[in-house]
Chain A
Amino acid sequence: MIHVLATMFGHWRRAPLQLVLLIAGLALATALWSAVQAINAEARASYERAVERLGTGDMAALTSPEGTIALETYVRLRRAGWQLSPVLEGVWGQGEQSVTLLGVDVLSYPGAPAMAAAAETEGNLDVAGLLMTPGVMFANPGTRAKLERDDQEAARIFSLPDLPPDLVLSDISVVEALLNRPGQLSRLLILPDQPRDLPPLSARAPGLVVTATNDGPLGDPGRLTRSFHLNLTAFGFLSFGVGLFIVQGSIMLSIEQRRGTIRTLRCLGVSVSSLMTALLLELILLALVAGAVGLVVGYSLAGLLLPDVSATLRGLYGAPVDGTLSLRLSWVLSGLGMALAGTLLAGLQALISLRRLARHLSQASYAPARLSASQIQILCLSGAGLIGLGAVVLSFGSGLLAGFVGLGGLMLGSAVLVLPVLNLLLQGARRMAGSPELQWLAADSRLQLPGLSLSLMALLLAVATNVGVGTMVSSFRMTFVDWIDQRLVADVFVEVETEAQAQSVLRWATLLRARSLPQFYSDTRLNSAPLRIYGVVDDPLYREHWPLVRKTPDAWERLHGGGAVFVNEQLAQRDGVQVGDRMTVGPGWSAPVAAVYSDYGNPDKQIIASLPALRAQVPSPTLLRIGLVPPEGMSRDDLAQRLEQDLDITRTAIRDKEAIKSLSIAVFDRTFVVTGALNILTLAVAGFAMLTSFLSQWTRRLPQLAPVWAMGISRARLAGLEFLRSLGFAILTFVFALPLGLGLAWVLLNVINLEAFGWRLPMYLFPGAWARLLLLTCLAAGLAALTPVLRLLRLAPAQLLGVFSNDRP
């Protein structure tokens, strides 16, 4: 057995490049997959840490439709035996400085140990200090820094890194005083251990409802971010799948090249099963080596990407994720397992062909056969079936998973169909081709199809993904840029600190005949989630610019005259609110919804009301930002300068529209860095797959090329045709992949995005990007064809003649 193995392995000594390609392909696939896994695992671990230490996970809670629960109700339930932990939640502070205050009873709150530990290490705190007013508060270091302007407050705030941004945790006695809400509670967490034989909740607190998963700010961030991670996983899996095509190609090539060795070994009496075992061992060894390399690369890759991912997660969901990576055994094992399973799957065809080869010693070389009619039928049927399944899931399923399953069906089905379609096209091409040379090329290409099938599928998937994701990101970016342009209705924004300062800015603007757009708002909570209500003045600028995605014809009139409100897409999606519906905005305030507006990049719900309507509910709404439009003949810069001089406002408080815009776009671009990186890597993997396929076809090609050469077509011409064919395949695949990619983009924009972020995006087409991608695809195909073409050019005529040596005259 050892000799068999040594002989089999000898092949790789003779073909080191091939070995490197194989290991690199497998390592790359493992690297991408495991990088994504490492990122996901890191994020999940962060969430779990946070939930375990502070959060209430998916602990059920009692809430009231009215929004608040009386302290007496809590006590009544406790006295009935129910083990509950009360929470009071509210918004504290003004504008940019405002934070969510979470008041808990530290005697019963599940996250209290972390609070105590922080108080102990930082403040050497005694019990009275933790429980009693003035009490202490806990916030993550960033939020703490924000709140520390006031020295007196600073001494009371301790760092707790696991808390999400803009959340301050404290004892309920402290919070009710700060919020001035004595005797009120927001929800009652139902603790896990309850005594036996409790009276039903409905009897003791008929007004309260049990929420299966409480949606508080310390709810499980894993739930919020599930879509994001599913997205990453899908990407990782796709890259892995594409990578396996490389492995498949390489292994097939190696079997093809070891034909002679195998025959010799069989003649020496080595059994078929020994040969198979040897190949299996070889595959396992390769998988382990390449898997290990892949893990190292994947780990570095994850380390590079993680800061961006954690920035994205913080930005989009406020989920706390550490920017540092830690090595987990489970990750190493699953990465190696994936590599092993993938290699064995990819090597399956090689094992089968080895068995055939070893059994039929007499057969010199089995000639490549083109697809049979029945094969085509099977492929067509299964492809159509998969596409149909995907379509059904997409049309009738709901949720993110259905979106991904549907996409999977669509893409896999299309990949399966690529062979029959190309076959048909080549058949047509052969008929239409004028010159015999081209006819031969078409016929020969058809013959090559089965061998190239997997790498073409890989290319199709990679191109489609690239088109789809690229279209999604670009559409999003374009919408976003457009949107932010519209959204920033004024030219200059000034941040004010006090009501008096705000009034003086407004007076100054009137005198200057500049238009002012004061941004009044009030922060509250709706169904336990943060809600900001803006009160807008009636200015035509809003009517002209504000981006509405769905509206009644007279939306603005109804807003300013009819007491209607506009809601952001996130609110409409999460609460199922439609234009025309009537919704509860707050206690004693319900209003018809006249329009839905897009509000990208904001994780929270938002409502726009007319300023008088807001004032009717909230007598003194917050005003911290005023938009200004310079009068005719004055530039933005002049206005800003005057503002600085006349009102003694610091330069940092005055923001130019363009500055805000470029900052927002920078944040957006950062968010999609990871997607872009994965996109390019997938295409690189597909190019690689083509290269290995071409190489593996090479040996088998000689018997086909030799007769053509013998008929007088030069090697250079043959090489040119070969190159052309490679490009042809790439272009055909691209043409086929384009509509698939656009379909993918549509699903991403309309299904996945909606589920993941709560907004639907218009789809834009980017022909320029397709052209670039086509060039890239051709480049990949050209590069992949380069090695075989060069070989062909350098091929000695004797070798071509050698093909005929066994032919009898």
Chain B
Amino acid sequence: MIAPRAFRVFVLAGLMLLILWSRAQGQGYANLGSDAAGFAVPDRGRQLQFPADHGPHPGFRVEWWYLTANLRTASGEDLGVQWTLFRSALVPEGPAGPGSPGGPGGPEGWKNPHIWMGQAAVTTATSHSYAERLGRGGIGQAGVVTDPFSAWIDDWSLTSADDTLDNLSVTARGTEFSYDLSLQQQGPLILHGENGYSVKSEDGQASFYYSQPAYRVTGTVVLPDGPVEVTGEAWLDREWSSQPLAADQSGWDWFSLRFDSGEKVMGFVLRGERGDFTSGSWITADGATTPLSPAEFIATPVSWSRVAGRDIPTLWQVEIPTRGVSVEVAALNPGAWMGTSFSYWEGPVALSGSHRGTGYLEMTGYGDARSSNPSERK
């Protein structure tokens, strides 16, 4: 018999692989391969259009609305908050693009081919609580609409009063925590890669990827000890694709870093048998963005922690020599393991070295002891 969690892995295997890696087999791209199998593929020349692109893209296989926030309580304690909504399509709906009839694509009701998955977490230096929601498309249990903008699954939501992402409210609730936060943007939307066309491997797999990296946050987080008022900063990622990773790639390490100087950097390392593929964006204080070329962003594990039965690098050295960046990236809580259907590590980090600041780190593909062995990684 397989456990419920393993079952969900089965259900969603091959669907959420872009970031939530198929750990059990340690195999690359599982049944997705680089074949989009009838789904739409990102078109390099396409210009992103807003507000339409804030909404779902049902022609693509996977998509997410991904919010992370570095917060501080009135008494000065740091904590991190995550709110994520994934959409994945079971079968292709043809080349339907954004704004196709019926919202998130396909027929209404249980026959709708989309599955939605929400994940939320609150991480302090001493505790890490997370929750997960799964829902079917087409029945109203989960979805995203654009006017006004609203993304939801069950009672969790990320909403705006208008069709922009400028001012958002976000709520989620688990058995041990809940939060209710207000977000105000402090800068423009950032398009990664080539006007939002973000290459993920040397073979050319790509996704559409944009962010709002500069929200100011106020609100309340309820922890087991009671509610606390928090303030801080948040970062929203939007990404969708159908064939994003190469066959040999087994996981990734993704960084969103916010320097006290006002500059920000998004960088990721896609670990592959043929070598790592790195990419990223350099964002100035006023929101001007420059893509980082493949070798520019260097992330090296410094020390590993034993988390949930596997070794995870929770202290990193990140260097961008062209920008004079050499920082140590340390997890606020090394135990920020998301033991969800697809397990991965995700938590707030603190920066020291050439720059100070905060950020979020996400690491996937460390699920299996075999592939998480530090010596094998090299």
Contact = CB atoms under 8 A, between A and B. Distances in A.
Interface in A178-198: 182-183, 193-197
Contacts of B31: 126
Contact of A132 (B1, B6, B111, B131): B111
B241 interface: no
Interface in A33-92: 53, 71-72, 74-75, 78-81, 83
B109 A116 contact: no
A123 to B, nearest CB: 13
B24 interface: no
Contact of A173 (B111, B173, B177): B111
A476 to B, nearest CB: 40
A112 B4 CA distance: 7
Contact of A107 (B11, B131, B174): B11
Contacts of A127: 10-15, 90
Interface in B1-51: 1-4, 6-8, 10-15, 31
Interface string A341-359: 0000000000000000000
Contacts, number: 99
Contacts of B97: none
Given A127-B90, A171-B110, A112 B152 contact: no
Contacts of A114: 1
B10 A78 contact: no
Contact of B136 (A105, A112, A128, A177): A105
B322 interface: no
B300 interface: no
Nearest to B9: A116
A78 B141 contact: yes
Contacts of B175: 193-196
B115 A107 contact: yes
A53, A80, A112, A113 — most chain B CB neighbours (10 Å) = A113
A176 interface: yes
B113 A195 contact: no
Interface in B152-198: 152, 154-155, 173-178
A172 B1 CA distance: 22
B247 interface: no
A128 B91 contact: yes
A132 B135 contact: no
A173 B109 contact: yes
A628 B35 CA distance: 65
Interface residues of A, number: 40
Given A127-B90, A128-B90, A195-B178, A182 B1 contact: no
A78 B90 contact: no
Given A108-B134, A128-B113, A196-B175, A120 B91 contact: no
Contacts of A635: none
B2 A116 contact: yes
B228 to A, nearest CB: 15
Contacts of A128: 90-91, 113
Contacts of B134: 107-108
Interface in B129-159: 131, 134-136, 139-141, 152, 154-155
Nearest to B224: A196
Contacts of A113: 1-4, 6-7
Contacts of B155: 78-81, 195
A112 B136 CA distance: 15
A693 to B, nearest CB: 53
B95 to A, nearest CB: 18
Nearest to A131: B90
A176 B136 CA distance: 15
A106 B11 contact: yes
B176 A196 contact: yes
Nearest to B157: A79
A619 B141 CA distance: 36
A112 B7 contact: yes
A53 B1 contact: yes
A78 B135 contact: yes
A75 B139 contact: yes
Contact of B7 (A116, A133, A194): A116
A117 interface: yes
A133 B111 contact: yes
Given A79-B152, A112-B7, A128-B91, A196 B178 contact: yes
A288 interface: no
Contacts of B11: 106-107, 116, 127, 130-131
A249 interface: no
Given A105-B136, A195-B173, A132 B91 contact: yes
B90 to A, nearest CB: 4
A25 interface: no
A420 interface: no
Contacts of A71: 109, 139
Given A81-B155, A133-B111, A196 B12 contact: no
B154 A196 contact: no
A197 B178 contact: yes
A693 B95 CA distance: 91
B154 A81 contact: yes
B13, B14, B110, B131 — most chain A CB neighbours (10 Å) = B110
A110 interface: yes
Interface string A91-119: 00000000000000111101011101100
A82 to B, nearest CB: 8
Contacts of A193: 175
A195 B10 contact: no
Contact of B90 (A72, A83, A132): A132
B3, B13, B154 — most chain A CB neighbours (10 Å) = B154
A108 B132 CA distance: 11
B173 A197 contact: yes
A107 B1 CA distance: 17
A196 B131 CA distance: 12
Contacts of B7: 112-113, 116-117
A368 B292 CA distance: 108
A78 B154 contact: yes
Nearest to A112: B7
Contacts of B4: 110, 112-113
Contacts of A75: 139-141
Nearest to B131: A195
A211 B154 CA distance: 23
B90 A196 contact: no
A689 B90 CA distance: 71
Contacts of A107: 8, 11, 115, 134-136
Contacts of B12: 127
A110, A127, A172, A177 — most chain B CB neighbours (10 Å) = A127
A608 to B, nearest CB: 36
Nearest to B156: A81
A71 B175 CA distance: 25
Contact of A120 (B10, B90, B174, B176): B10
A83 B152 CA distance: 15
Nearest to B8: A107
Contact of A117 (B2, B110, B154, B222): B2
Nearest to B11: A127
A53 to B, nearest CB: 6
Given A107-B11, A127-B90, A182 B109 contact: yes
9 contacts: A74-B141, A78-B135, A78-B155, A105-B136, A110-B4, A113-B3, A127-B90, A128-B113, A131-B90
Interface of A: 53, 71-72, 74-75, 78-81, 83, 105-108, 110, 112-114, 116-117, 120, 126-128, 130-133, 171-173, 176-177, 182-183, 193-197
Given A78-B135, A131-B136, 20 more contacts: A53-B1, A71-B109, A75-B139, A78-B155, A79-B152, A83-B154, A105-B136, A107-B115, A113-B4, A116-B2, A116-B7, A117-B1, A128-B91, A132-B113, A172-B110, A182-B109, A193-B175, A195-B173, A196-B174, A196-B222
